[in-house]
């Protein structure tokens, strides 16, 4: 009986990780379908209006604490970087970048987190990490070149990278302030504040909703519920039971999952260069995390 009780939580964690990977793997395909009928800003707003309603229902049943006035700027900062800037940049970027390439570029966040730690927070960065960053940026160039060709490189790929940078700021803010609220509360206020900032795109949204075909409506509904709400809740559950370095290893499965979903849903076939560049990016990110784990093990041993 004791073995069963210890195995069940492990199974729940594995299922939650698989659910997160599937949801975030679907996101690039859902965005491409949504962009068939919605402008990038309208798509971001509608997606998170749906997510906000869903999170409100969860909050009513689960119960969350009210934020203090002094924390409002922090919560709006989280919403800006995690929701508003990140998803508007992703949507505009995916107008000229394939779903598969977008998923790879979005996973470059840890590279920019390291640069952020060095130049904003003045942390020391080892030669190993600089090497990982250089290798990762080479992979980024290969992905962009393999997606549309070097001659067609434009701002779209840079916007996906801006979305990755935005997530880096979000993780930094979350790391410094996550102790004040539990995971559910922080996710709710992040989604709601980010949605509030997206209300600048409200004019014209109703007309696009009325004219969008049913296939697009279903894709956007799935975007609002699964990657934008349920996946965040599942991720909060994972982080409550698994340390961050182990949990983030799971996210390396997102790009191949996204490519598989895009292949099935959009008929995309990733080029050899995208696969090679994606492998280089993920290896560089993996190497960054492995160094962090080795340092933590070494410190614990001391």
- Rounded to whole angstroms, the Cα distance separating 146 from 271 reads 6
DSSP 169-223: HHHHHHHHHGGGS-HHHHHHHHHHHHHHHHGGG-TTHHHHHHHS-HHHHHHHHHH
CB within 8 Å of 220: residues ≥ 6 apart:
30, 33, 34, 38, 43, 46, 47, 50, 212
Burial class (CB in 10 A: 0-12, 13-18, 19+), 301: exposed
Q: With bands split at pLDDT 50, 70 and 90, how would you rate the model's confidence at 298?
A: low
State pLDDT tens for residues 81-94. Answer: 999 999 999 999 99
- Rounded to whole angstroms, the Cα distance separating 233 from 226 reads 10
Average pLDDT value over all residues in the chain: 83
Q: With bands split at pLDDT 50, 70 and 90, how would you rate the model's confidence at 294?
A: low
| Site of tokens 């800037």 | 85
Burial class (CB in 10 A: 0-12, 13-18, 19+), 158: middle
More confident residue, 160 or 46: 46
pLDDT surpasses 60 at 8: no
Q: With bands split at pLDDT 50, 70 and 90, how would you rate the model's confidence at 148?
A: low
In the chain, what percentage of residues exceed pLDDT 70? 84
pTM: 0.84
């Amino acid at each position: 009986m004791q073995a069963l009780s210890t195995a069940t939580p492990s199974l729940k964690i594995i299922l939650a990780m698989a659910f997160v990977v599937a949801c975030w793997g679907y996101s690039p395909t859902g965005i491409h379908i949504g962009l068939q009928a919605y402008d990038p800003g309208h798509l971001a707003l509608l997606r998170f209006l749906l997510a906000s309603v869903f999170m409100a229902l969860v909050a009513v049943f689960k119960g969350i604490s009210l934020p203090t006035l002094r924390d409002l700027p922090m919560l709006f900062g989280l919403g800006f970087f995690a929701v508003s800037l990140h998803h508007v940049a992703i949507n505009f970027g995916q107008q000229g970048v394939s779903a598969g390439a977008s998923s790879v570029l979005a996973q470059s966040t840890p590279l920019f987190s390291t640069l952020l730690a060095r130049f904003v927070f003045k942390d020391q960065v080892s030669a190993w990490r600089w090497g990982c960053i250089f290798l990762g940026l080479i992979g980024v160039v290969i992905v962009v070149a393999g997606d549309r060709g070097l001659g067609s490189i434009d701002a779209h790929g840079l916007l996906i990278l801006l979305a990755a940078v935005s997530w880096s700021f979000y993780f930094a803010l979350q790391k410094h302030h996550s102790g004040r609220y539990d995971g559910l509360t922080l996710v709710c206020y992040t989604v709601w504040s980010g949605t509030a900032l997206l209300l600048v795109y409200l004019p014209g949204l109703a007309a696009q909703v009325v004219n969008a075909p049913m296939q697009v409506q279903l894709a956007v509904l799935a975007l609002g519920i699964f990657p934008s709400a349920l996946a965040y809740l599942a991720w909060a559950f994972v982080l409550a039971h698994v340390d961050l370095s182990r949990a983030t290893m799971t996210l390396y499965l997102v790009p191949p999952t996204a490519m598989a979903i895009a292949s099935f849903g959009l008929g995309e076939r990733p080029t050899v260069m995208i696969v090679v560049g994606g492998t280089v990016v993920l290896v560089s990110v993996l190497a960054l995390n492995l160094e962090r784990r080795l340092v933590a093990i070494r410190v614990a041993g001391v």
